[in-house]
Chain A
């Protein structure tokens, strides 16, 4: 049963949480449709980080003094918030990293070096971001493992029957994107994980675009690893999370050595710290972690506005928030898809029925770079190019696309501006 009240969310109140949205660009109010590249930050997150630097900063996990303890408290609290966000079993399964890319590299190198040998197979998909391709190519080169690619239909859906046939006793790792950054396709990762587990393979999910749009439940998905980037989910840059099942993380060798990740050090023998610290060498991005904690609280606060009963716990508030995000963004995506479909000479890329917040397209009359420049001229920020998915662009047969990617603060009026902008492109180049 839905937790939501019938009361609609006042989108203007959400927009007021993001002061940057008032920016004027070439005399036009900014229309920010580049959330897939990086979302904007609410005041609550910016202030939490400011507050931390103004009144709390010291190194964590080592000082006996007041500030160090206060900083450690906030740091540990953020880990607990993120544990609930992902529904991990324990904070030991929540590793702070520099971002989604760092999380994937950690698994590829640490898990990969311990578990891959010549002839083993790593499955990735056609729609992977370079960050979920290159780390696997690197470890494949080092170990003699082979990277194989799950094909995709023209509408942007993975060919699941082919995937099932590709799985075999040599398959050791399946690395899949949850939500495609270029197409918006939401992959059926739960079923795909189930299939991979049947033959004993492990699965890493690239959740860079999953976490901003979907309520993530790593236990329900049964993911072995789940990688998140915080700056795409309204949090600060330079911070990410790797979720890993505890028994897998425990069996993995450390990725980087240094302070914080050790138990004892001598020149003869070093023993490593417990999880999660084993994978967090060096002084962490404390302000980033504090900002991330504030991000989870901000999203939960949106949930609070929607839940009727008071005292709903954090997980329930996040459930409500993401239920609303899902409805809001799918409304906008549907509205945008219909409006853009009516523009002749415009072709949408990525038309899977199950998708999240991406309107990507090509135009007969103009190259995406020109589309981007004309849109920027009227204050609309979109991404143009290959979106770090060169193999996918090759599969689609285009050098590049124009991509509008939606977030919680976007409105139908902004979609109208995008459509007007696209019509200007046609006037100019058509």
Chain B
């Protein structure tokens, strides 16, 4: 296996793809949204339980590639217990990391999410990593229309 490919498919990503965390529906969610990447057919549903402005529970369902599945799984772990403001900050930094050009920067605040740093080398795969986040954003806003990457 080549080095670049290992950089993209890091062990953590492969693990979360095989064993996604927080997968399934939430009963009576306070927030819900659906996302779709028409290019590859990835579908995702994000369920939220908010308590005030804090994410109490979050889960996802759907079908997608390893990058989008692992991204959804790691996203749910990263945002549970966080306030809206904190979630927005993480999303912002995550997006910056996967779309950055030039030298790779460190993103210690992202924790496990840093494993998606390799995605930036694969422009067509960036949308796979960000689809769960865009869908989350829609769920937070109570947006009913399906989110599309196109």
- Assuming the contacts A367-B64, A386-B41, asked whether A374 and B128 have C-beta atoms less than 8 A apart, the reply is no
Which residue of the partner chain A has the closest CB to B9?
Answer: A428
Task: Pick from A384, A385, A399, A427: contact of B1, CB below 8 A.
Answer: A427
Are B14 and A385 within 8 A (Cβ)? no
Q: Are A373 and B125 in contact (CB under 8 A)?
A: yes
Contacts of B67 in A (CB 8 A): 369-370
Q: A368 at the A/B interface (Cβ < 8 Å)? A: yes
Q: Roughly how many angstroms separate A400 CA and B38 CA in the complex, as a whole number?
A: 10
**What residue of chain A has the Cβ atom nearest to residue B41's Cβ?**
A399
B2 close to A26 (CB less than 8 A) = yes
Known A369-B65, A373-B122, A428-B9; judge A400-B2 contact (CB<8 A): no
Residue of A nearest to B39 (CB): A385
Q: What is the total number of residues of chain A having a CB less than 8 Å from a CB of chain B?
A: 21
Interface string of B42-64 (1 = CB under 8 A from A): 11000000000000000000011
Minimal Cβ-Cβ distance residue in A for B43: A399
Check B40 against A384 for contact (C-beta < 8 Å): yes
- Also in contact, A393 and B41, with CB within 8 A (given A367-B64, A367-B66, A373-B122): yes
Q: Verify if B17 is at the interface (C-beta below 8 Å from A).
A: yes
A194 cross-chain contacts in B, Cβ below 8 A: none
**Residues from chain A with Cβ under 8 Å of B8 in the complex:** 373
* Bitwise interface map of B from 22 to 47 toward A, beta carbon under 8 Å scored 1, else 0: 00000000000000000111110000
- In the complex, chain B residues whose CB is within 8 Å of the CB of A50: none
Complex Cα spacing A368 to B14, Å: 15
A429 touches B66 (CB 8 A): yes
- Chain A residues near B128: list those with CB within 8 A: 369
Cβ contacts under 8 Å, B42 to chain A: 369, 399
Cβ–Cβ contact B4 & A370, under 8 A: no
Q: Is B5 an interface residue (CB 8 A)?
A: yes
Q: Which residues of A contact B66 (CB under 8 A)?
A: 366-367, 370, 429
A369–B124 Cα gap in the complex (Å)? 10
Residue of A with least CB distance to B42:
A399
Contact at A400–B9, with CB atoms within 8 Å?
Answer: no
In the assembled complex, the Cα of A271 lies from the Cα of B9 at a distance in Å of: 64
The size bracket of the interface on B is 20 to 34
Name the residue on B nearest A371 (C-beta).
B65
Chain B residue at minimal CB-CB distance from A385: B40
Give CA–CA (A311, B113) in the complex, Å: 68
Q: How far is the CA of A309 from the CA of B146 in the complex (A)?
A: 63
Could you tell me the distance between the alpha carbons of A428 and B63 in the complex, rounded to whole angstroms? 19
B5 in complex: contacting residue of A374, A385, A393, CB < 8 Å: A374
In the bound complex, CA of A370 to CA of B9 (Å): 9
Determine if A113 is an interface residue (Cβ-Cβ < 8 Å): no
Given the complex, which residues of B lie within 8 Å of A384, measured CB to CB? 40
Q: Determine if B2 and A370 form an interchain contact, defined as CB atoms under 8 angstroms apart.
A: no
B73 to chain A, nearest CB (A): 14
- Complex CA distance for A45 and B138, rounded to whole angstroms: 50
Q: Which of B2, B41, B63, B64 contacts A377 (CB 8 A)?
A: B2
Kindly list chain B residues whose C-beta atoms are within 8 Å of the C-beta of A428: 1, 5, 9, 14
B residues near A374, Cβ cutoff 8 Å: 5
| CB <8 Å contact, B5 and A400 | no
A429 and B17 in contact, given A370-B67, A377-B4, A377-B5 (Cβ under 8 angstroms): yes
Whether the Cβ atoms of B125 and A399 lie closer than 8 Å is no
Cα–Cα distance between A72 and B63 once the two chains are bound (Å): 54
Provide the B108-136 mask, 1 if CB < 8 A to any CB of A, else 0.
00000000000000100100100000000
Bound state CA distance, A105 and B143, in angstroms? 36
- Which A residues are in CB contact (< 8 Å) with B64? 367, 369, 399
Q: Name, among A367, A386, A428, the residue most crowded by chain B CB atoms within 10 Å (CB to CB).
A: A367
Within 8 A of B (CB), among A357-415: 366-370, 373-374, 377-378, 384-386, 390, 393, 399-400
Residue pair B1, A370 in contact (C-beta under 8 Å): no
A70 within 8 A of B: no
Complex formed: what's the CA distance from A390 to B38 in Å? 9
In the complex, what's the smallest C-beta–C-beta distance from B103 to chain A, in angstroms? 22
Name the B residues within 8 Å of A393 (CB-CB).
Answer: 41
- Verify if A424 is at the interface (C-beta below 8 Å from B): yes
* In the complex, residue of chain B having the shortest beta-carbon distance to the beta carbon of A374: B5
- Which residues from chain A contact B122 at a C-beta distance below 8 Å? 373
Which residues of B have CB within 8 Å of A424?
Answer: 1
Q: When the two chains form the complex, which single residue of B4, B9, B41, B63 contacts A385, counting CB atoms closer than 8 Å?
A: B41
Chain B residues with CB below 8 A from A399, complex form: 40-43, 63-64
- Taking Cβ atoms with an 8 Å cutoff, the residues of B that contact A are 1-2, 4-5, 8-9, 14, 17-18, 39-43, 63-67, 69, 122, 125, 128
8 CB-based A-B contacts, threshold 8 Å: A370-B9, A370-B66, A370-B67, A385-B39, A386-B41, A400-B40, A428-B1, A429-B14
5 tightest A-B contacts by CB? A399-B41, A367-B65, A369-B65, A400-B41, A370-B66
